[in-house]
Structure 1
Amino acid sequence: MRPNALTGRDLTSALAVVVVWGVNFVVMKFALRDFTPFQLGTARYVFAVLPLALFIRPPNISWKWLAFYGLFQGVGQFGILFVALKVGMTAALASVLLQTQVFFTALFGFVLLRERASRPLQAGMVLAALGLSCFALNYINPGSGSASATTLAGFVLTLGAASMWAMSNIVARHVQQSGVAYSPLAFVVWSGIFAILPFAALSYVFDPEALRWQWTGARASSWLAVAYLGWVATLLGYSLWTGLLKRHPANRVAPFSLGVPVVGLAAGMLVLGEAITPWQWAGIALLVAALGCVMLGGLFKPR
């Protein structure tokens, strides 16, 4: 077997992550039927943190970096995404737009870490900008018969969630550059602790009085959705993904993430009956091409 070749077990793990994270967006929609965005954020991280925090030791990392990661990735990424899904964003399109985190990460890496963008990344950013322009045109000139469940506010908020994901990537890179050995799963679990109290505080302040503590009125399907988000999408998904990254170079693993928006699109359309306008299809095609350019471009360098 070639060095770093993907085994059958590795391929199964990669495909499992693609399905788990792709379906993730539809599950969020189900959970938001009974929970407010901030209630859902609180519940998600309680489920993700409590079982394992009792058995996994904290990583040997400064608490401030755990706090930054928990706030950016938890409250920032998922808090804003949950609000976006509530005010006007479909699960199908959210699965695509959230992948713009790749380009936000490159932008923040250039500004904060002085990282230079490769040529494939530069080309990808141009394609991504064109794709986002198509999404914007959908709101400026939607045309007849192209009604959809998305709003401009939902679009902007989803991009905001992607930018927060990018900031959490910058924090993770800084930790990696410090040279400290740590368990990625322990990092995810213990950073999640810093998301629980801010989510609970936001729920107390912004949720209507009648909704603040009505947890018992939620349907069983909504609680199952929360369990999926906390245990399956967060703990299982990140464990499988980090395991792949430990065993194989990033350029072998990263291309599998291209399947996430494909599964997300299919799940949103088939399960929720979500519609996509021609402008949005154009934007999706350009964004997927941009991601492919970034993730696959490095494979074709002359040797």
Structure 2
Amino acid sequence: MKKNKIFGALFLSIAASIWGGMFVVVKVVVEFIPPVELVWLRYLIAVIALFAIGCWQHVDWRVKRKDLPLIILIGLIGNALSIVTQEAGTWLSSAQLGSVITAATPTFMILFAWWLLKERLTWIKISSVALATIGVLMIVGVHAIGMGKLLGAGFLMIAALTWALMSVLIKLVPSDYSPIQVTTLATATALVCLSPVVFIQRSTVHWHYLMQPTVIFCLLYLGVISTAVAFVMWNRGLQLMNAASSGLFFVFQPLVGTLLGWLILGEAIGLGFWAGVILISASIWINIGYSD
């Protein structure tokens, strides 16, 4: 059991760390491609990559009829609604604000896990998430939200809520389905759902931007690394840990995002960053070592 938790923590940490660089990438590429079209292109690349990996691993793509509605719901809530609102919110506000608001995901996951999965609310879970949340706030800082960013903040809050709900719903999927199978089908569901919107708005998008090296790199990162690889790792991690504890590792997203901003963009970090790292590390140690 302890071994499963360690591997689960590793998968969740890597996935969230990958998403830490996603906000910066989205902020760059969304200036060329609108949010819905960006998500559609990201998922098109991801489905191709996931299907290729699944075929290589001889994945059985058959799904029982009784399980299909749940997987479709996961695709609609997590892959479609959550990601579209996240990228729209980042577009309307900032990458840093996106990291702050979506860091509320662990708290929402605890509540959804208590409601849907009947997981016990313990002081260990509550205190570990509280420590991690304080750590995140110390890392990215607390900034006033102007009226111009209010709509973006609203979209980001919806993204955090729906991602938390999706992460808990995955726990209801029978364990005989592989993470690649669930991720591919959920991503394909979102791709089909968004296709009519992209078709209607096709004339308003400047598709020639797809030939720019920067845009190509960003799309490959979002499609292959941030979606195909990270989603599979996140879903596998969710299978190995309880839903409430899993959300804790989402805090690696703003941590890595801030660190990358310092390394790549030259953004300054102060004592708050290192204090936040200590608090987050303590919360994870408490969660893995003492939670049930």
TM-score, length of structure 1 as denominator length: 0.72
Match of 1:30 in 2: 28
Deviation at 1:40, TM superposition (A): 0.5
Match of 1:60 in 2: 63
Match of 1:44 in 2: 42
Match of 2:193 in 1: 198
Match of 2:3 in 1: 4
Contact 1:96–1:264 (CA<8 Å) still a contact in 2? no
Deviation at 1:60, TM superposition (A): 3.3
> 1:198 is aligned with what amino acid?
C
Deviation at 1:257, TM superposition (A): 5.3
C-alpha separation in 2, matches of 1:271 and 1:182: 39
Match of 1:296 in 2: 285
Deviation at 1:24, TM superposition (A): 1.9
Choose 1 or 2 for highest CA Rg. 1
Match of 1:185 in 2: 180
Deviation at 1:274, TM superposition (A): 6.4
Distance 1:211 1:125, change over 3 A: same
Deviation per CA, 1:191-240: give whole Å up to 9, x if none. Answer: 111111322333456x5x7524x323332311221111111122223445
Distance 1:249 1:106, change over 3 A: closer
> 1:78 is aligned with what amino acid?
I
> 2:160 is aligned with what amino acid?
A
Deviation at 1:152, TM superposition (A): 2.5
Match of 1:95 in 2: 99
> 2:91 is aligned with what amino acid?
K
Deviation at 1:59, TM superposition (A): 5.1
Count of equivalent residues: 281
Contact 1:105–1:166 (CA<8 Å) still a contact in 2? yes
Match of 2:208 in 1: 216
Deviation at 1:100, TM superposition (A): 1.9
Counting aligned pairs with the same residue, the percent is: 21
Structure 2 residues without counterparts, runs of 5 or longer: none
C-alpha separation in 2, matches of 1:43 and 1:27: 14
Contact 2:43–2:223 (CA<8 Å) still a contact in 1? yes
Distance 1:198 1:133, change over 3 A: same
Deviation per CA, 1:246-274: give whole Å up to 9, x if none. Answer: 7x767999876544322111223554566
Match status 1:77 vs 2:72: no
Contact 1:24–1:233 (CA<8 Å) still a contact in 2? yes
Match status 1:260 vs 2:239: no
Deviation per CA, 1:127-173: give whole Å up to 9, x if none. Answer: 68889999997437x8xxxxxx9823222322211111111112101
Classify the secondary structure of the residue corresponding to 1:167. Answer: helix
**RMSD of the TM alignment (CA)?**
4.5
C-alpha separation in 1, matches of 2:121 and 2:237: 25
Which of 109, 123, 126 is residue 122 of structure 1 equivalent to? 126
Bigger mean CA deviation after superposition, 94-103 or 158-167: 94-103
Distance 1:302 1:211, change over 3 A: closer
C-alpha separation in 2, matches of 1:88 and 1:48: 26
Structure 1 residues without counterparts, runs of 5 or longer: 143-148
Classify the secondary structure of the residue corresponding to 1:151. Answer: helix
Contact 1:58–1:186 (CA<8 Å) still a contact in 2? yes
Which of 109, 112, 118 is residue 108 of structure 1 equivalent to? 112
Contact 1:77–1:165 (CA<8 Å) still a contact in 2? yes
C-alpha separation in 2, matches of 1:10 and 1:110: 20
TM-score, length of structure 2 as denominator length: 0.74
Match of 1:151 in 2: 149
C-alpha separation in 2, matches of 1:110 and 1:72: 19
Deviation per CA, 1:14-50: give whole Å up to 9, x if none. Answer: 8764653322221212221211000001001101112
> 2:81 is aligned with what amino acid?
G
Distance 1:133 1:252, change over 3 A: closer
Distance 1:217 1:137, change over 3 A: closer
Distance 1:29 1:159, change over 3 A: same
Classify the secondary structure of the residue corresponding to 1:109. Answer: helix
C-alpha separation in 2, matches of 1:259 and 1:30: 21
Distance 1:40 1:288, change over 3 A: farther
